[in-house]
Chains A and B, each alone.
Chain A
Amino acid sequence: MTREEIVKITNDALSKEFELEPEAMTPDANLFSDLGLDSLDAVDMVIVLEQAFKVKLRTKYEVGKIVTLNDLYSYIESLSGEK
């Protein structure tokens, strides 16, 4: 899966489930301070992305380390490379 595909699937899933404005979803956007997600959202975000990418995110990484959308794309990219 290419980086562009990962970005698109991630952004589509997050904007649909968390009603985020697509224009706010820049790679450097902080998930919490810029996009307004909270700790509960982070838990749901993992589930939503697992469903979108059909991979397990929970067991492989400390999700708390993901701060920006870019971190998230890179993490998913690293997982898709492992597949």
Chain B
Amino acid sequence: MIDFFKKLYALPFVLGAWGWLAFSGIFAYLYFLAAGFKEEQVRSFLYFQGKVIQLAILGASAFRKKLIRNGQILKPSILAANHPCAYDTFLFFDFGIKNLVCIAKGWPFKIPIYGSLIEKAGYINSDNKTAAEIVNLAREKLKQGLHIGIFPEGTRSSKIGRFRSLAFEISLKTGADIVPFAIKGLDKMLAPKAFFAKLAAVSYIQLAPVSPEEFYGKEAGALRMAQYVKSLIVEKL
């Protein structure tokens, strides 16, 4: 019964969020179709769109959303977070990170309108690419001054899963720091595969950057770095 009321409370915010995603997406897509898709402008739009989604999450949490910062991210870095919920994608925007592209599997790119927008914003589709190709694409983005967002688990899960090595391989190959983020409570709001969100407290925690330097020359360095960063995130959950 309590669960029902929690869902009822969150419903207007969820409907608002999905409505906003759909209508702002269609409007922006038509605008860019007419004006031309410029990567930076599309990224600015996605940032604005994500900020509004974060407002909806703030509402759905009954203003129990905490944002814990850990200094400014001064150089282009790899932002790695756990992946408990579909709303995670919008996490980095809440920290004011605008110059961002994410690495994602193919399916978000297939979402009508949204998929085209993230593609035009320069997001990296990891499907059908080798690790070396993804590292090279990520290197180019970092050189352009962009951060790379990635969810090393790959698949949403309320129980934190294995961190795959790709993000850490990029870090080791490019020298970019990993900035870990812990997402807490968002899976309570919208569990993986659930359709209806419900009232729940949420915390986003930014951790201190991890330099690849201490993993250079280590056997299975990317794997060790993945395990280390995961342990830092798990500590905060």
Q: Does B187 contact A (CB under 8 A)?
A: no
**Docked complex: A36-63 residues within 8 A CB-CB of B:** 36, 38-41, 43-44, 47-48, 51
Contacts of B131 in A (CB 8 A): 38-40
Contacts of A19 in B (CB 8 A): 161-162
A40, B165: Cβ atoms under 8 Å? yes
Tell me the nearest residue of chain B to A37, going by C-beta: B164
A44, B162: Cβ atoms under 8 Å? no
- Looking at chain A's contact residues, the main secondary structure is helix
Q: Does A17 contact B (CB under 8 A)?
A: yes
Across chains A and B, the number of contacting residue pairs, with CB separation under 8 Å, is 33
Q: Does B231 contact A (CB under 8 A)?
A: no
Q: Does B207 contact A (CB under 8 A)?
A: no
Smallest CB–CB gap between A34 and chain B, Å?
A: 15
Smallest CB–CB gap between B21 and chain A, Å?
A: 30
B222, A18: Cβ atoms under 8 Å? no
Distance between Cα atoms of A51 and B218 in the complex (Å): 13
Smallest CB–CB gap between B201 and chain A, Å?
A: 28
Query: Contacts A17-B223, A47-B220, A48-B220 given: A40-B161 contact, CB under 8 Å?
Result: no
B219, A47: Cβ atoms under 8 Å? yes
Please give the number of chain A residues whose Cβ is less than 8 angstroms from any Cβ of chain B in the complex: 13
Contacts of B220 in A (CB 8 A): 17, 43-44, 47-48
Contacts of A40 in B (CB 8 A): 131, 164-166, 169, 222
Smallest CB–CB gap between B129 and chain A, Å?
A: 11
A41, B164: Cβ atoms under 8 Å? yes
Distance between Cα atoms of A61 and B164 in the complex (Å): 25
Contacts of A41 in B (CB 8 A): 164-165, 223
Tell me the nearest residue of chain B to A39, going by C-beta: B131
Query: Contacts A38-B164, A39-B131, A40-B131 given: A51-B219 contact, CB under 8 Å?
Result: yes
Q: Does B130 contact A (CB under 8 A)?
A: yes
Distance between Cα atoms of A48 and B222 in the complex (Å): 12
13 A-B pairs in the complex with CB atoms less than 8 angstroms apart = A17-B223, A18-B162, A19-B161, A19-B162, A38-B164, A38-B165, A39-B130, A40-B131, A40-B164, A40-B165, A41-B223, A44-B220, A47-B220
Identify the 8 closest CB pairs spanning chains A and B, nearest first: A19-B162, A44-B223, A47-B220, A40-B165, A44-B220, A47-B219, A40-B131, A39-B131
Instruction: Identify the B interface with A (CB < 8 A).
Output: 130-131, 161-162, 164-166, 169, 219-220, 222-223, 227
Given contacts A39-B131, A51-B219, 11 further A-B contacts (CB under 8 A): A17-B223, A17-B227, A18-B162, A39-B130, A40-B131, A40-B164, A40-B222, A41-B165, A43-B220, A44-B165, A47-B223
